[in-house]
Structure formats: structure tokens, C-alpha cells
Structure 1
């Protein structure tokens, strides 16, 4: 992911980094309100609840992004 984002993970822990909604919005270059709207509408990447805090795994974000890719230029993917 973007080197300007500092995902929550301990170096050398072997745990997958976690992103906040703010991290995800920054990476995608969109407002955090859009991330929250997508979540409410069931359109964004899957999240993980850590207690009362919502986080996004890097692998789930990558999977979701690959599902958004056009099958051909100008054609929306069927998952959108």
C-alpha cells in the first residue's frame, strides 16, 4: 500500500496490517464519508471489528480493489 499510510501492525509480529477508515480514504484519495457511505450501502471492502473499532485488512482492501477493476476499458465490472 501507500508508504504515507502507517497501518496498525507491530513490526515483525507476523500480523496483517490494519487500516482505519481514515487510512483507507487517504489511500484511495476519497473523503472518509464516502468510505462510511459505502459501508452502510454494502459496497466497500469488508471490515474487521476489534472491540468497538472498525478496521480493514490490507488483503481485504486488495481483494475489493481487484473486484472493482474494469473487465475492459470503459466497462464496469459486474460486481459494482
Structure 2
């Protein structure tokens, strides 16, 4: 069996609480953002919503571009 680079790569998922702590806000704010279509896009796994680091980076980049415009 040949290992591919992706086979060794494990994506780190963050919970709503993790994202709320990162942005220094309440988890309910993150849930509200998701409800109105704002903020980082989450992945629903069962009843949980998880976020990738790449998605948080994309969201922050979008905010930075809006500020500089």
C-alpha cells in the first residue's frame, strides 16, 4: 500500500465553542452568524457543527479585504 500525502494529513476541526473563544464572543453569536449566513462556514456532523482552520483563515481573509476596500 502506497501512502499519499493526504493519507498522513489529519484535518483539525474546531467546535463552536472553540471558534467563539477565538473571536472572543459567545457561542450563541457564532450560531447566530451561521443562521444568517455570516461568518465561517461549518460542517455539520450529526448534531455538531465543526469548522476547519482553513475555513477560519478564509473568513478572516475576507474580513481583511473588506476593511482595506
Normalised-by-shorter TM-score class: 0.7 to 0.9
Return structure 1 stretches of 4+ with deviation > 2 angstroms.
none
Query: Who wins on radius of gyration, i.e. which is larger?
Result: 2
Greater RCO structure (CA 8 Å; 6+ sep): 2
Q: Gapped runs of 5+ residues in structure 1?
A: 1-12, 72-76
Deviations 1:20-46 (A, max 9, x none): 000000011111111011000000111
Asked if residue 50 in structure 1 is aligned to residue 45 in structure 2, the reply is: yes
Counterpart of 1:17 in structure 2 is 12
Supply the RMSD in Å over aligned alpha carbons. Answer: 1.3
* TM-score, normalisation: structure 1: 0.68
